[in-house]
Amino acid sequence: MLVLDANILIRAVLGKRVRTLLERYAATVRFFAPDVAFADAQEHLPLILSKRGIDAAAGLAVLEALSAIVACVEADLYEPLELIARRRMRSRDEEDWPILAAALALDCPIWTEDADFFGVGIATWTTDRVELFLAEVAGS
């Protein structure tokens, strides 16, 4: 199991590497993202896509398709851990607490490019290293 940060969802829409990894390991690794990560990606993608000359509707359709691979974690699962997550995120980007709380609730690592998660008591993986974890979990 692995919790994805919103920046990973956005990378899955914008590039091939993240989407390829998700598709390759979807049969053996369970991917999750809090509802707010999907909402953040939906909010930020149109501007990012328009700056790159990409049709926003097409990009948002890719994000929607990711929900077949990445399960949405509803707030009722991670909200009980809000206080703990906020404490661990203090002096960092505390608004990212749902990502940490979801990882705590599911007892699994976080896939992110955000250094604010480093040192919060949960294993974190960046895209350049995450395949080591994915292959191990998949038994390859």
pLDDT in tens, 87-133: 999 988 889 999 999 999 999 999 999 999 999 999 999 999 999 99
Q: Write down the pLDDT at residue 94.
A: 84
100 burial via Cβ count (<10 Å: 0-12, 13-18, 19+): buried
Asked if 4 contacts 71 with a C-beta cutoff of 8 angstroms, the reply is no
User: What would the two tokens of residue 46 be?
Assistant: 């149109």
Q: Tell me: the pLDDT tens digits for 39-95?
A: 999 999 999 999 999 999 999 999 999 999 999 999 999 999 999 999 999 988 889
The topology (CATH level 3) of 2-138 is Rossmann fold (3.40.50)
Does the structure show a pLDDT above 80 at 34?
yes
Indicate yes or no: pTM above 0.85: yes
Whether the CB-CB separation of 29 and 79 falls below 8 Å is answered with: no
92-95: Cβ within 8 A, 24+ apart: 92/116, 92/120
Q: Specify whether the CB–CB gap between 72 and 33 falls below 8 A.
A: yes
Strands 2-4 and 110-111: parallel
pLDDT score recorded for residue 91: 84
Average pLDDT over residues 12-24: 96
pLDDT of residue 139: 87
Do residues 115 and 7 make contact, with C-beta atoms less than 8 angstroms apart?
Answer: no
pLDDT reported for residue 140? 66
Average of pLDDT values for 26-41?
97
Q: Name the residue ranges covered by the structural domains of the chain.
A: 2-138
Our CA dihedral for 7, 105, 97, 121, rounded to 10 degrees, sits at -90
